[in-house]
Amino acid sequence: MEDLKKVFWKKIAELRKFKWLSQENLGFLSGVHRTYISEIERWKANISLLHIGKLAKALWIDLSDLFKL
In whole angstroms, give the CA distance from residue 46 to residue 62. 20
pLDDT digits (tens, 9 = 90+) for 32-65: 999 999 998 888 888 888 999 999 999 999 988 8
pLDDT digits (tens, 9 = 90+) for 20-38: 999 999 999 999 999 999 9
CATH of residue 49's domain is 1.10.260.40
> Contact at 8 Å (CB) between 14 and 20?
no
Domain count, the chain: 1
What residues contact residue 11 under an 8 Å CB cut-off, 6+ apart?
66
> Which of 58, 57, 66, 63 is closest to 29 using CA atoms?
58
> Contact at 8 Å (CB) between 26 and 16?
yes
Full domain range(s) for residue 53: 2-67
